[in-house]
Amino acid sequence: MKLQVENLNFSYNHHKILNDISLHVNNGEFVGIIGPNGSGKSTLLKNLYRALTPDSGSIYLDHENYRDLKIKDIAKKLGVIGQDNGVPFDFAVNEIVAMGRSPHKKLFEGDKKEDKEIIQNALNTVGMADMAERNYLYLSGGEKQRVLLARVLSQQTEFLVLDEPTNHLDIHHQLRIFDVIKGLGATVLSAIHDLNIASLYCDRIYVMKDGSIYKSGTPEEILTSENIKEVFNIKTDVRQHPVTKKAMITYLPESTFNKGEDIVV
């Protein structure tokens, strides 16, 4: 599965939000998008999963233009976890996960034995099998996010688009969710809030700033003190971690400098 985006532009109320975005995700790659709030990460992803329609530009999924694909066909190839995941009605966990089977189903077709197995496997993968009958409304944030991941897994798509899937989760759940995703071997494009998480899991990273792609490259190329200072306007100390061999970012608060000590970074 390969995604190719060419010269995508999007504006809202005559206000330009995405400016000439081009990016690609190769088969099997884990690609992250980082950038400050309001840089256009979510808007870009929404354009990719068709919640918004771009003003101009093309999107290709395996060399097929989006314009030539039916909504249902896209749903068979591309699974999405967006930001807005409230379900204001009583659904059991397994009913939420069963929704992922929708694009594979005809009108009125029920869940067959095979579908039930897929749903069960998805729940096992995210470690929520015990909770299959529980009410989704009363789960914790981390559990809800795992259920949504199971829903996307039961959709059986090769390509996942994720919009900050671990937002508001504690560090245990953040790592757990990304471990599961990484373990799938799927092609992934994910907006990621936490730079260290991005460093740990991504093969490549796109940096967004003011609605444009500011830079792209491997985590080591992107996650440098200079780049982070330029985009996020913060001071950091970046080193290679001895165990993971990945870039490790330490944020340096202003108070560290106000003491008048000279810190060499």
Partner 1 sequence: MLNNLRHRQLPKGLKETNLIVILSFLVLLMIGTIIFATGMGPVSVHTTTVLQILISKIPFLSNPVGNDWTQVEESIVVGLRLPRVLLGLIVGASLSVTGVALQALVRNHLADPFILGVSSGASATATLGMLFGTFSFLGTYSLSLSAFIGAVVVIVLVYALSRVNGKINMTQLLLSGVAIGLIMESITKLITLSAPNALGLHNATFWMAGSLAGAKWGYLTLPLLVMFLCMTILLLNYRALNALLAGDETAGTLGFNVNVIQTMLVLIASLLAGVTIAVSGSIGFVGLMIPHITRLLIGSDHKKVLPVSAFLGGILVVWTDVAARLIIAPEELPIGVLTAIFGGPFFIWLLKKNARK
Three-class secondary structure assignment of 193-224: CCHHHHHHHCCEEEEEECCEEEEEECHHHHCC
Closer residue to partner 1 (CB): 159 or 178: 159
Closer residue to partner 1 (CB): 156 or 225: 156
The distance of closest approach from Cβ of residue 86 to partner 1 in the complex, given in angstroms and rounded to an integer, is 7
The distance of closest approach from Cβ of residue 140 to partner 1 in the complex, given in angstroms and rounded to an integer, is 15
Closest CA to 156 of 84, 83, 102: 102
The distance of closest approach from Cβ of residue 203 to partner 1 in the complex, given in angstroms and rounded to an integer, is 24
Closer residue to partner 1 (CB): 124 or 218: 124
What does the alpha-carbon distance between residue 93 and residue 156 come to, in Å, rounded to a whole number?
A: 18
Asked whether 164 and 178 are in contact (CB, 8 A), the reply is no
What does the alpha-carbon distance between residue 88 and residue 50 come to, in Å, rounded to a whole number?
A: 23
What b/e sequence results for 219-243 when a residue is b if at least 16 CB atoms lie within 10 Å of its CB, and e otherwise?
A: beebbeeebbeebbeebbebeeeee
The distance of closest approach from Cβ of residue 21 to partner 1 in the complex, given in angstroms and rounded to an integer, is 20
Token code pair at residue 133: 């009958």
- Write out the residues near partner 1 by the rule CB under 8 A: 46, 49-51, 71-76, 78-80, 82, 84-92, 95-96, 99-100, 102-103, 105, 107-108, 110, 130, 133, 137, 155
The distance of closest approach from Cβ of residue 104 to partner 1 in the complex, given in angstroms and rounded to an integer, is 9
What does the alpha-carbon distance between residue 147 and residue 140 come to, in Å, rounded to a whole number?
A: 11
Closer residue to partner 1 (CB): 101 or 204: 101
Strand partners, 58: 6
The distance of closest approach from Cβ of residue 87 to partner 1 in the complex, given in angstroms and rounded to an integer, is 5
Closer residue to partner 1 (CB): 107 or 243: 107
**How many other CB atoms sit within 10 Å of the CB of residue 209?**
16
Closer residue to partner 1 (CB): 92 or 234: 92
